[in-house]
């Protein structure tokens, strides 16, 4: 039976070889030959047998893109691939970046706008239905177990380095394409290959990237595992590891753990903007001590004095405390820093509008005519103050749903003021028509 199976495998191999270029035929022959040697009891106990098998696997893996490297010009690539015919060329936008994608029978090459090779994707491996790098890694691990005297150490180390580097290349390609799940897996596999005791190259940056891409993939439990591992290895990335680990716990609903990590990170990296912003957001979202939030915001403003969002955030806290004048000053400052900052203008208009609603409520409860008239006058003045920021919001906003909200505010304001001037009357008609 064993002879029949072997004969069938050899027949399949012969059929495959007949349809392949000579170089690929040699790779397939070498793969089949070295694989059979690992199954031979007389050879399977030798490290060199597993090393040759691993080398056959990695050579097959890199064959479609051998001699290519990132940064290669399209002309240089065509020279290197002179014996291969490009099947098609198209332009793709990948995560906001433009690429020229040149497709061959076994790979797609991605060139940036400067005509430089950025990354590639192997679409047809030499040996299909086999995870070549994973099998090669297993083979090198077996070789390391058998190499008790260390005579094959350099070959094993070279092989593991090749595997780790190819995983990184694949991870970066997947990341660029937006496939964060695969990217995270490839980063992890690269780390395992490089950190194997036979090579013992521990790259904590790769662990961090595995966590970061897992976070981008919204696989928060996986992200927690890698970011925690980073902290255990003292890789804190100037506080970013704490911020990302806290974000992972936050997305899992563990707010207390998130705050604990951010507070710890803040004590170690008080100038880390990623930690400060995360602290501000989590305290705002959980309605905790506003004075603590203001402390974080002020520290962040010291680090980034030209960030309008930080003054906008302070305005929101102050507004929540009922300090409307101070809040308005912060919203105005955010728009002075960035005249195109929609949120600052919108919140300024909404704050004036909310104040007008409070004045209107007070006026409706006022029995003294003189005080009532004074409140009505104050009401109109406050609504007039809301016009300019809302008009600017209307000018800046592109989102149709939010634009509708701004239109509704302006319609209501101009309706209240329409009898004061023909301009107000016309403005009311304008926005009322938009609503209708």
Facing residues of 3 across strands?
A: none
Closest by CA to 234, choosing from 202, 266, 260, is 202
- 149 or 268: whose pLDDT is higher? 149
Residue 150 has pLDDT above 80, yes or no: yes
**Interior/surface letters 338-363, b for 16+ CB within 10 angstroms, e for the rest:** beebbbbbbbbbbbbbebbeebbeeb
Residue 30 has pLDDT above 90, yes or no: yes
Per-residue pLDDT, averaged over 91-101, amounts to 94
Residue 325 has pLDDT above 50, yes or no: yes
Report CA-CA distances (Å) from 364 to 8, 324, 382, 418: 94, 22, 16, 20
Q: What is the pLDDT of residues 52-67, one digit of tens each?
A: 999 999 999 999 999 9
Residue 280 has pLDDT above 60, yes or no: yes
125 assigned to some structural domain: no
DSSP assignments along 130-170, one per residue: S-HHHHHHHHHHHHHHH-TT-TTHHHHHHHHHHHHHHHHHH
**Residues whose CB is less than 8 angstroms from the CB of residue 211 and which lie 6 or more positions away in sequence, other chains included:** 184, 222, 223, 225, 226, 227, 229, 230, 244, 245, 248
Report CA-CA distances (Å) from 36 to 5, 6, 9, 61: 12, 10, 11, 19
Neighbour tally for 156: CB within 10 Å: 23
The CA-based angle 144-147-148, given to 5 degrees, is: 115
Residue 168 has pLDDT above 80, yes or no: yes
Exposed/middle/buried for residue 186 (C-beta within 10 Å: 0-12, 13-18, 19+): buried
Predicted pLDDT at 244: 96
- Quick one: CA dihedral 247, 250, 252, 254, positive or negative? positive
- How far apart CA 413 and CA 415 sit, in angstroms, is 5
Predicted pLDDT at 7: 47
Predicted pLDDT at 20: 53
When divided into structural domains, the chain yields a total of 1
Neighbour tally for 257: CB within 10 Å: 16
Percent of the chain at pLDDT > 90 equals 72
Predicted pLDDT at 213: 98
Closest by CA to 281, choosing from 273, 391, 418, is 273
pLDDT category of residue 14 using cuts at 50, 70 and 90: very low
- CATH of residue 360's domain is 1.25.40
Over the chain, what is the mean pLDDT? 90
Report CA-CA distances (Å) from 251 to 175, 232, 277: 21, 22, 16
Facing residues of 100 across strands?
A: 91, 111
217 assigned to some structural domain: no
Predicted pLDDT at 351: 94
**Beta strands 97-103 and 107-111, pairing class:** antiparallel
Dihedral in degrees, nearest 10, Cα atoms 54, 56, 57, 59: 120
Predicted pLDDT at 271: 66
Residue 11 has pLDDT above 50, yes or no: no
Predicted pLDDT at 270: 66
- How far apart CA 113 and CA 100 sit, in angstroms, is 8
> Residues 233, 191: contact at Cβ < 8 Å?
no
247 assigned to some structural domain: no
388 assigned to some structural domain: yes
Which residue's structure tokens are 């929101």?
316
Residue 34 has pLDDT above 70, yes or no: yes
Per-residue pLDDT, averaged over 273-298, amounts to 80
Residue 239 has pLDDT above 50, yes or no: yes
- How far apart CA 301 and CA 207 sit, in angstroms, is 31
- How far apart CA 195 and CA 20 sit, in angstroms, is 36
Residue 13 has pLDDT above 80, yes or no: no
Percent of the chain at pLDDT > 70 equals 95
> Residues 389, 348: contact at Cβ < 8 Å?
yes
Neighbour tally for 81: CB within 10 Å: 17
227 assigned to some structural domain: no
22 assigned to some structural domain: no
Q: What is the pLDDT of residues 343-398, one digit of tens each?
A: 999 999 999 999 999 999 998 888 888 888 999 899 999 999 999 999 999 999 88
313 assigned to some structural domain: no
Q: What is the pLDDT of residues 101-138, one digit of tens each?
A: 999 999 999 999 999 999 999 999 999 999 999 999 99
Per-residue pLDDT, averaged over 421-427, amounts to 92
Q: What residue numbers bound the domain in which 331 lies?
A: 318-436
Least confident of 197-211, 284-298, 340-354: 284-298
353 assigned to some structural domain: yes
């Amino acid at each position: 039976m064993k002879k029949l199976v072997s004969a069938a495998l050899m027949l399949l191999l012969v059929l495959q070889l007949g349809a392949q270029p000579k170089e690929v035929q040699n790779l397939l022959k070498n793969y089949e030959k070295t694989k059979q040697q690992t199954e031979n009891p007389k050879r399977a106990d030798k490290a060199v047998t597993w090393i040759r098998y691993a080398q056959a696997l990695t050579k097959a893996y890199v064959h479609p893109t051998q001699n290519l490297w990132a940064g290669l010009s399209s002309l240089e690539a065509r020279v290197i691939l002179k014996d291969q015919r490009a099947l098609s060329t198209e332009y793709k936008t990948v995560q906001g970046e433009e690429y020229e994608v040149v497709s061959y029978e076994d790979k797609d090459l991605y060139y940036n706008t400067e005509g430089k090779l950025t990354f590639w994707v192997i679409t047809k491996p030499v040996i299909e239905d086999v995870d070549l790098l994973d099998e090669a890694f297993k083979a090198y691990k077996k070789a390391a177990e058998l190499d008790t005297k260390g005579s094959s150490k350099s070959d094993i180390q070279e092989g593991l380095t090749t595997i780790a580097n190819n995983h990184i290349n694949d991870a970066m390609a997947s990341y660029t394409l937006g496939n964060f799940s695969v990217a995270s897996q490839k980063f992890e596999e690269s780390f395992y290959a490089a950190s194997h005791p036979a090579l013992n190259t521990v790259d904590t940056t790769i662990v961090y990237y595995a966590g970061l891409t897992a976070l981008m993939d919204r696989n928060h439990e996986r992200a927690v595992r890698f970011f925690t591992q980073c902290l255990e290895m003292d890789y804190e990335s100037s506080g970013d590891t704490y911020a990302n680990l806290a974000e992972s716990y936050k997305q899992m609903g563990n707010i207390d753990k998130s705050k604990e990590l951010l507070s710890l990170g803040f004590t170690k990296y008080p100038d880390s903007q990623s930690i400060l912003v995360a602290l501000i957001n989590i305290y705002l979202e959980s309605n905790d001590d506003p004075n603590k939030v203001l402390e974080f915001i002020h520290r962040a403003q010291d680090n980034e004095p030209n960030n309008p969002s930080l003054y906008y955030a302070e305005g929101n806290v102050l507004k929540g405390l009922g300090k409307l004048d101070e809040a308005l000053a912060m919203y105005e400052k955010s728009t002075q820093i960035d005249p195109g900052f929609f949120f600052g203008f919108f919140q300024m208009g909404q704050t004036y509008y909310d104040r007008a609603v409070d004045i209107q409520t007070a006026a409706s409860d006022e029995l003294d005519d003189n005080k009532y008239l004074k409140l009505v006058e104050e009401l109109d003045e406050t609504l007039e103050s809301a016009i300019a920021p809302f008009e600017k919001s209307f000018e800046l906003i592109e989102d149709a749903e939010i634009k509708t909200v701004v239109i509704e505010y302006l319609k209501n304001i101009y309706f209240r003021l329409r009898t004061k001037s023909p301009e107000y009357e016309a403005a009311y008609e304008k926005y009322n028509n938009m609503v209708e």
